A and B are shown apart, each in its own frame.
Chain A
């Protein structure tokens, strides 16, 4: 996963979320179909995809998908 578009594909195809580029920057309450349950699946998936550990406490405190993306590529 290198770009935000890769991240978007992961959300759509691996988590099945109907999200767009705009949703990624929005707060979680604005993301269609978002549920806190998805956060756990997403974090597990990101670690598996990137092969690196995420700072989970930070990721759990993130306000948007974009913030999580930034943590994932920075990790």
Chain B
């Protein structure tokens, strides 16, 4: 809770997005855009999208060449131009510059089926194939029956399945499809309830076929529009649908753009990893310091039940690999007591990787929390009911996603889930046990503090490292590591699951997965090495390791093992690549420190060579198991 005596931080004194637009300075000031968009409501974001969509991405890039971009091809059945402005704004919120390619009206079949289409030539990262109910109803005869709809819906979904396969074969893009809403103006054309029910069945079967494409096509995402329509966004606007063939409403397209923004964010490797929640007024009702443990509301009663429901949602996120932390202005002892013993609490202290209760500014606590978890602070989502705290964190740490909740606890869940901050393509085994692993890590840190020397600590830690060839069971986790890992990531090459699959199938390429364990438990699959053989040369295209486990000799052990393997197989030189990003500076000297010499490049991107004569040794405190097996589950 805010201290009522402390004045709220003044509104940001700088210019607004509109000021910059009026002054013609939006492109020049583009790096400020994400901060200017944070906290805008839907109407504000719509307007911002119109202004940002006027910018030419090339002009922005000429001025700010390091801006991350996302090539997005938009195709589909109806008029989709109204999607561009909200899409521009939603990507900009995540710091991504949209480079759009808008196809001609109703050209999705040609766009996706023809490998030489303009759409593929733009080398899209995302292909949005926006489907609407007219995909089916444009073709029905008059009068029509459920049988007509069933037959046409089957034809259309089969076409879409074929297009999904064609897209996967032609492009590295993620193909985004969507389910078809069913407006009442179609069901109501049938006067008997029996037929209406059957139309509902036929329609949902078509949507089920679309949703099931994700089971067979790893590069396909299907956005279910039903939950968005159920939020209250009309599926279509009849006049614009009839007059301009804009078959989905502007409101629904804006909401769709928000979902796509999070897909883009995830594809760019920017998924949030940790949730920091305030306690008083957020996790429970009341103020612990004033009302006492008996006075807070965490179950029972109107507000208590709302807070209990919110806690259940937070716990649900935690169970899927989101690291839960609490940051509260409170004395630590009463907070610990509530989290351990209060009968009404759903969340308990062992649901959190760390609970910070003190009287320091929350932005300082968040910064330290990130450091202790070896995360970047931009991996955090922060939820608080105090506008003061939200404003201060937003101001001091603009990269933190701030979710303001208010005095209406029944709306906390909607506020938290309004954005898919933790959206990911697929959960892996690692996600389900991540919280326990980070907790182990904090125990390790305490263990470290009890030693005088790092060597002695490492010796007592009993580090074990397993190296094995990746198999199909590892594909999801390996892809996820390339997308999530930022610090120990030599080239930060992000790979979608299908791209990892392609490497496994390539006889010249090899993907090695790294597992580790120590006296405190198993860390699971924590790293990967991507190599490629070319004659007697081995290329290390990328080497990455989870931030949870580096600096304890694992990386040296893995490198030593990779080189040892290579020499045994006749490799006479190994070339290793490094590409600098804003986050991987700490590994830029990794190869030179381990016997490699730079042969080309500079500090931004370099290639290092090892001549394979004097190989580095596996550190003495590490026990290495190098399996030459067939890549079975290694964790």
Q: Which residues of A are at the interface with B, using a C-beta cutoff of 8 A? A: 12-17, 33, 37, 40-41, 43-44, 56-57, 60
**16 other A-B residue contacts (CB within 8 Å) besides A14-B47, A16-B51, A40-B79:** A12-B22, A13-B21, A13-B51, A16-B50, A16-B54, A37-B81, A37-B82, A40-B81, A40-B82, A40-B250, A41-B82, A44-B82, A44-B240, A44-B250, A56-B239, A57-B239
> Are A41 and B85 closer than 8 Å at their CB atoms?
yes
List the 4 closest A-B pairs by CB distance, nearest first: A37-B81, A16-B51, A16-B54, A56-B239
0/1 per residue, B224-246, Cβ < 8 Å to A? Answer: 00000000000000011001101
> Are B243 and A60 closer than 8 Å at their CB atoms?
yes
A12→B21 CA distance, assembly (Å): 9
> Are A16 and B21 closer than 8 Å at their CB atoms?
yes
A16→B46 CA distance, assembly (Å): 12
> Are B54 and A33 closer than 8 Å at their CB atoms?
yes
Chain B residues with CB under 8 A of A16? 21, 50-51, 53-54
Does B135 reach chain A (CB closer than 8 Å)?
Answer: no
Beyond A40-B82, A41-B82, A44-B250, whether A15 also contacts B239 by CB under 8 A is: no
Which residues of B, 1-40, contact A by the 8 Å Cβ criterion? 18, 21-22
A12→B47 CA distance, assembly (Å): 11
Q: Is the interface of B mostly helix, strand, loop or mixed?
A: helix
CB proximity of A55 to chain B, nearest CB, Å: 10
Chain A residues with CB under 8 A of B53? 16
Chain B residues with CB under 8 A of A44? 82, 240, 250
> Are A13 and B22 closer than 8 Å at their CB atoms?
yes
Chain A residues with CB under 8 A of B51? 13, 16
> Are A40 and B85 closer than 8 Å at their CB atoms?
no
Q: Which residue of A lies closest to B53 (CB)?
A: A16
0/1 per residue, B35-66, Cβ < 8 Å to A? Answer: 00000000000010011011000000000000
Chain B residues with CB under 8 A of A17? 54
> Are A40 and B246 closer than 8 Å at their CB atoms?
yes
Q: Which residue of B lies closest to A53 (CB)?
A: B239
Which residues of B, 61-120, contact A by the 8 Å Cβ criterion? 79, 81-82, 84-85
A68→B47 CA distance, assembly (Å): 20
> How many residues of chain B are within 8 Å of chain A by beta carbon?
19
B50 interface neighbour in A14, A43, A57, Cβ under 8 Å: A14
> Are B50 and A60 closer than 8 Å at their CB atoms?
no
CB proximity of A8 to chain B, nearest CB, Å: 13
Q: Which residue of B lies closest to A44 (CB)?
A: B250
A41→B253 CA distance, assembly (Å): 12
Chain A residues with CB under 8 A of B85? 41
A56→B79 CA distance, assembly (Å): 16
Beyond A13-B18, A16-B21, whether A40 also contacts B50 by CB under 8 A is: no
A14→B54 CA distance, assembly (Å): 11
A33→B24 CA distance, assembly (Å): 15
For A15, A37, A43, the residue with the greatest tally of chain B CB atoms inside 10 Å of its CB is: A37
CB proximity of A57 to chain B, nearest CB, Å: 6
Chain A residues with CB under 8 A of B21? 13, 16
A7→B22 CA distance, assembly (Å): 16
> Are A56 and B243 closer than 8 Å at their CB atoms?
yes
CB proximity of A26 to chain B, nearest CB, Å: 19
A15→B84 CA distance, assembly (Å): 13
0/1 per residue, B504-538, Cβ < 8 Å to A? Answer: 00000000000000000000000000000000000
Chain B residues with CB under 8 A of A13? 18, 21-22, 47, 51
CB proximity of A18 to chain B, nearest CB, Å: 8
Chain B residues with CB under 8 A of A37? 81-82, 84
> Are B22 and A40 closer than 8 Å at their CB atoms?
no
CB proximity of B105 to chain A, nearest CB, Å: 11
B243 interface neighbour in A12, A15, A33, A57, Cβ under 8 Å: A57
CB proximity of A43 to chain B, nearest CB, Å: 8
Q: Which residue of A lies closest to B239 (CB)?
A: A56
Q: Which residue of B lies closest to A17 (CB)?
A: B54
Beyond A44-B250, A56-B240, whether A15 also contacts B81 by CB under 8 A is: no
Chain B residues with CB under 8 A of A41? 50, 82, 85, 250
For A13, A14, A16, A40, the residue with the greatest tally of chain B CB atoms inside 10 Å of its CB is: A16
For A15, A33, A40, A43, the residue with the greatest tally of chain B CB atoms inside 10 Å of its CB is: A40
A43→B237 CA distance, assembly (Å): 12
Chain A residues with CB under 8 A of B47? 13-14
0/1 per residue, B436-451, Cβ < 8 Å to A? Answer: 0000000000000000
Chain B residues with CB under 8 A of A33? 54
Can you identify 5 A-B contacts, CB atoms within 8 angstroms?
A37-B82, A40-B82, A40-B250, A43-B240, A57-B243
Q: Which residue of B lies closest to A60 (CB)?
A: B243
CB proximity of B247 to chain A, nearest CB, Å: 12
CB proximity of A56 to chain B, nearest CB, Å: 5
A33→B84 CA distance, assembly (Å): 16
Q: Which residue of A lies closest to B102 (CB)?
A: A37
CB proximity of A71 to chain B, nearest CB, Å: 14
A15→B22 CA distance, assembly (Å): 12
CB proximity of B592 to chain A, nearest CB, Å: 50
Q: Which residue of B lies closest to A56 (CB)?
A: B239
Which residues of B, 191-244, contact A by the 8 Å Cβ criterion? 239-240, 243-244
Chain B residues with CB under 8 A of A56? 239-240, 243
Chain A residues with CB under 8 A of B22? 12-13
